[in-house]
Chains A and B, each alone.
Chain A
């Protein structure tokens, strides 16, 4: 017993001019950055809701059109670092972060062993008990780049 007339279906079915398959493939290929764009958009949306900032006000703060704001808040835009930073400054929030660097070094002068990091003190065995590394490690570092702290 036939229940489904495929010929009739094909006569009435129209092509997908929106091309869902191609769009889906594109999203799959670009998923990594699209996820980041989505998360940034969400953070902005939640913040402006909490602070009762309208999208129109946001467009004025950032000196862009409301249409641009709307596009960004959909979460599909490949945002530049410049744009992200503008939002961060305007809203006073952090949207993305770069992991901190950790520097390690050994003192180049007359010290047996030390592994200091920027801003932190390191103890080593000499006439000076503690030195603090003031800036990132470099071949050009001299003893002046270390501050005696105790």
Chain B
């Protein structure tokens, strides 16, 4: 595992994990989320999830185009933060992930949602929060189902968050005493 610096300045930093034989997670995800062939196949494969009440039986075509819009939205947000535009901050983009109960953790697990385009975007960027305005992206998903455990592709992301935490601990980037997680608003 490697840590790639996407951008960093005095007050903020965005990093991304790079797994062996792959691009770093941010680059990898945005290639997929803007790849029409991948998206068309993904939504065709997962069309039963689009028929859930929450997604209003959206068509595959509309789902693909909505994903492109959402990806553009997240991209714009990250660029605004990089360009240090007023009111834009990584802390505003990422929401705490863990639900149900408090856990004592060394590192806070967080995820980013795009709020710009749709209130309930199904795109997810998962990240470990190092401290205010410093995040390491560990992965992401197109999350059509309610909880993280429901589908294999999101289940994998939980493993990646844990692996990143362990790596950062082993590299001494974190002290022993840690932070608490917060309750998150999952898609109902």
Query: How many contacting A-B pairs (Cβ < 8 A)?
Result: 112
Do B27 and A75 have beta carbons less than 8 Å apart? no
Chain B residues 1-38 with CB under 8 Å of chain A are: 2-8, 13, 15-16, 18, 23-24, 26-27, 30, 34-37
1/0 per position for A67-87, CB-CB distance to B under 8 A? 000100111100000000000
Do B177 and A3 have beta carbons less than 8 Å apart? yes
Contacts of B5 in A (CB 8 A): 10, 13-16
Task: Name the distance in Å between A83's Cβ and chain B's nearest Cβ.
Answer: 16
Do B15 and A18 have beta carbons less than 8 Å apart? no
Complex partner residue of A45 from B40, B68, B174, CB under 8 angstroms: B40
Q: Is B161 an interface residue (CB 8 A)?
A: no
- Nearest residue, chain A, Cβ from B134: A4
Q: Nearest 7 CB-CB pairs, A to B?
A: A75-B36, A41-B36, A18-B27, A13-B5, A4-B131, A45-B40, A4-B130
Q: A residues within 8 Å of B by Cβ?
A: 1-6, 8-10, 12-16, 18, 20-21, 23-25, 27-28, 31, 35, 38-39, 41-42, 45-46, 49, 70, 73-76
Q: B residues within 8 Å of A by Cβ?
A: 2-8, 13, 15-16, 18, 23-24, 26-27, 30, 34-37, 40, 44, 60-61, 64-65, 68, 72, 75-76, 78-79, 82, 106, 130-131, 134, 171-175, 177-179
Subset of 12 A-B contacts with CB under 8 Å = A1-B175, A5-B174, A10-B8, A12-B3, A12-B171, A13-B4, A15-B5, A20-B30, A21-B79, A28-B79, A49-B40, A75-B37
